[in-house]
Amino acid sequence: MFQSVIVFMRGPMLCPRIRRRTGGPAGRTAAPTAACRGPAHSAAWKDPSRSFADADGGPMADSREHVLTGTRCSVTAREWPLDRPRYVALLAHGHGEHIGRYAYVADVLRGHGAAVFGPDHMGHGRSAGERVLIEDVEDVVTDLRAVDALARAAHPGAPVVLVGHSMGGLVAARFAQRYGDSLAGLVLSAPVVGGPEPLRRLLALDPLPDVPIDPSALSRDPSVGRDYARDPLVWHGPFKRPTLEAFTHALETVAGHGDVGALPLLWMHGDDDRVVPLSATRAGIEDLRGTEWTERLYAGARHELFNETNKDAVLGDVTAFVDRVLPARPSQTEA
């Protein structure tokens, strides 16, 4: 019973128990960075200073780093640039992971005409803060808005499509409620939305149970779980009580703030998702969706659709959705 409760809310967390091994990246866990500052600090673009490195320390081609002064701590964002893009794709990753895991998604979307931006959320990846500590999801939404502002400054007038996965789907849903008028479309992949009751039952336990998740729950591709386990920027430790409390409050907030109105929504989910089960999400989507929405369910697919064996079909559905919701490209005679 406890495992079913914990699996409902856990993002792509491979193994909650910290396992340290000697030698190589597999022996490292995500290192803590600078402590978060107080909430008085507003999110703002600070410095587009460096190129990103990948999880093994080498350069990540065709991307660059921006450091933002976030709501509570410095937030690192990644940009996959494109000159004169048709649109901007804004990405929000899941719990315990980081935006560098979305390089393939960014590559596909750039090929479709997007400049791609996304942060490591506070306490995740290269961003500052106690690891995976989120005390208020509204702060994460505000930080994402700062990355959105950075993208809009770089590409004035380009429409923005927001893509959120798992916990990032919860962040994206709340972003759409706060700033939906500024978006051209919303894509939610296995989003954490719906009733908070499983979390309340989990939070009633003391101590919180530490139940590992089978790596095969992420994808039918076994290399996904192996790469995740070796990634030093991924958190392999337990959930933190304040973070679960923040998720509970965010679910209540999303449920209480109505649907997204006329904003086009694409909801994507695998029917074998054991991390955020389809049945738990559907009720939340029914409350969130507005007048224009599309549902895509994938037989046999697990939690990380963008890393699944059918990821090209999944991303093809994303780009087809974008084509439907964006203004048509000008013809050669109009250009």
Q: Determine whether 74 is an active site residue.
A: no
Residue 131 exposed, middle or buried by CB count within 10 Å (0-12, 13-18, 19+): middle
Structural tokens at position 191: 């989003």
Q: Which distant-in-sequence residues (6+ apart) come within 8 Å of 155 by Cβ?
A: 85, 88, 115
CA–CA distance, 290 with 262 (Å, rounded to integer)? 6
User: Cα angle vertex 14, ends 12, 16, to 5°?
Assistant: 110
Indicate which residue of 120, 148, 259, 273 is catalytic. 273
Q: Determine whether 139 is an active site residue.
A: no
Q: Determine whether 303 is an active site residue.
A: yes
CA–CA distance, 140 with 146 (Å, rounded to integer)? 10
Beta-bridge mates of residue 266: 187, 294
Indicate which residue of 189, 231, 303, 317 is catalytic. 303
Q: SS3 for 64?
A: strand
- Which contiguous run of DSSP H or E holds residue 315? helix 311-325
**Strand order from edge to edge, sheet including 265-270:** 44-47, 64-69, 74-80, 114-119, 87-92, 160-165, 185-189, 265-270, 293-298
Beta-bridge mates of residue 218: none
* Residue pair 75/143 in contact by the 8 Å Cβ criterion: yes
- Which contiguous run of DSSP H or E holds residue 7? helix 2-9
Indicate which residue of 74, 166, 189, 219 is catalytic. 166
Output the CA–CA distances (angstroms, integers) from residue 105 to 117, 163, 193, 201, 240, in the order listed: 11, 10, 22, 35, 29
Q: Which residues are catalytic?
A: 166, 273, 303
